[in-house]
A and B are shown apart, each in its own frame.
Chain A
Amino acid sequence: MKETIKLGVILMIITVVSAGVLAISNNLTKDRIAELEMAGSLESLKEIFGDSADFKPLDEGKLDEIKGSTPSVLEIFEVYDGDALIGYAIKNVSKGFGGDLVLLTGFNIDGTVAGLDVLEHSETPGLGAKAEEPEFRNKFVGKSTSEAITVEAISGATVTTDGVLAGVNEAREIFNNQLSN
């Protein structure tokens, strides 16, 4: 009995010290990580809509409402050219072959796809990983949002392609039903 308590106490000390060390390193890195994540989204947004566009996060109440009905949505941005609203960008998660795909899809207000970026993925290099290359992503540009979007699959990576398409089409429905009107 006494020994059990002793063992428990030793293990507890080790875990408490570990937790302390982790808290310190979290404090040292968390600001930079948040900054990088924001910068990553911003860079992709500029790639899709051009350098001159401005981006504002969608009104929080509305974002929560959309997240309530579609939990895979992470962020939504309004895109402005000067004062005029020219489009939306939706960041959401879909399932790929190797894990989650984090996608950012831009929509022009006139109902076409402005562009797509694959922000995070764990697809097979040389196959599904081609989804992040412009050659594949550019196939989405200009597609109409009035019908389900399809593109030619990446050869050898049907599951990845389907995952991207599912994510893009989910974003398209949000754009059609909850944003553009």
Chain B
Amino acid sequence: MKLSKILKDGIINDNPTLVQLIGMCSTLAVSTNVVNSFAMGMAVIAVLVGSNLVISILRNVIPDKIRIPAFIVVIATFVTIVEMFMKAYAPPIYEALGIFLPLIVVNCIILARAEAFASKNGIIASIVDGIGMGLGYTVALVALGAIRELFGAGTILGKAVLPASYQPAGIFVMPPGAFILLGIMIGIFNLARKKKSSSQA
């Protein structure tokens, strides 16, 4: 499989958030603003690349019967490392992400890629897959975060962009607003994807 295709699959064709619909819990919870979304995306990319790399290296060593606990141990290790370094070097972001940083351990995107890709493919391909899937997640999360921040608080990256007379719509920063927006985004994204594939065919 070509590496560019793996990358593109992760970002567009198999976008974890908008196509595969996995890792929804953290997506909805963290995407209240752009900065948190971006930071969460970076944390997921770091964990995903690390766990894909190690699992790909160990794919012939880990027996089938214990692969799930082995994967979880590897993933949990990377998450804890990311958590420690974020706490030490980016404390405001660490605080903003709160419980959702350690919960990356149980984020299905990471286990799904370990199971479906890294345990069956070579090292380079697995790293590229980690980057692609991670970027796909980040892009979706940042887009959602930007819309929620804009309408929910009238700001982008903490700076006011809408006039002060704009009354922020609290629904957008609340979980129900995230559900509604995510639904709309998935619809638009898949419509665009379908149009593109039918025009190619």
Q: Write the residues of chain A forming the contact surface with B, with a CB cutoff of 8 angstroms.
A: 6-7, 10-11, 14-15, 18, 21-22, 25-26, 28-29, 32-33, 36, 40, 98-99, 120, 122, 124-127, 156
Contact = CB atoms under 8 A, between A and B. Distances in A.
Contacts of B32: 125-126
Contact of B170 (A98, A120, A127): A127
A7 B85 contact: no
B73 interface: yes
In this complex, the member of B58, B66, B76, B84 whose beta carbon has the largest number of chain A beta carbons within 10 angstroms is B84
A21 B77 contact: yes
Nearest to B69: A11
A179 B152 CA distance: 44
Interface string B155-195: 00000000000001010011000000000000000000000
Contacts of A25: 80-81, 84-85
Interface stretch (B91-99, B105-113, B136-144): B91-99
B98 A122 contact: yes
Contacts of B65: 7
A93 to B, nearest CB: 15
B19 interface: no
B62 interface: yes
A7 B170 contact: no
Given A18-B76, A29-B88, A125-B173, 4 more contacts: A6-B63, A11-B70, A14-B62, A98-B98
Nearest to B64: A7
11 contacts: A6-B63, A7-B66, A10-B62, A10-B63, A10-B66, A10-B70, A11-B73, A14-B73, A25-B85, A26-B84, A127-B170
B62 A99 contact: no
B80 A22 contact: yes
Nearest to B71: A14
Interface residues of B, number: 31
Interface of B: 32-33, 58, 61-63, 65-66, 69-70, 73-74, 76-77, 80-81, 84-85, 87-89, 91, 95, 98-99, 152-153, 168, 170, 173-174
Contacts of A11: 66, 69-70, 73
Contacts, number: 71
B170 A32 contact: no
Nearest to A6: B63
A10 B58 CA distance: 11
A126 B152 contact: yes
Contacts of B95: 120
Contacts of B91: 36, 40
B168 A126 contact: yes
A22 B77 contact: yes
A40 B87 CA distance: 13
B69 to A, nearest CB: 6
Contact of A33 (B70, B76, B88): B88
B110 to A, nearest CB: 15
Given A18-B77, A22-B77, A29 B85 contact: yes
A32 B66 CA distance: 37
> 6 closest pairs, A vs B, by CB?
A29-B88, A18-B77, A32-B88, A126-B173, A122-B98, A29-B84
Contact of B99 (A29, A99, A127): A99
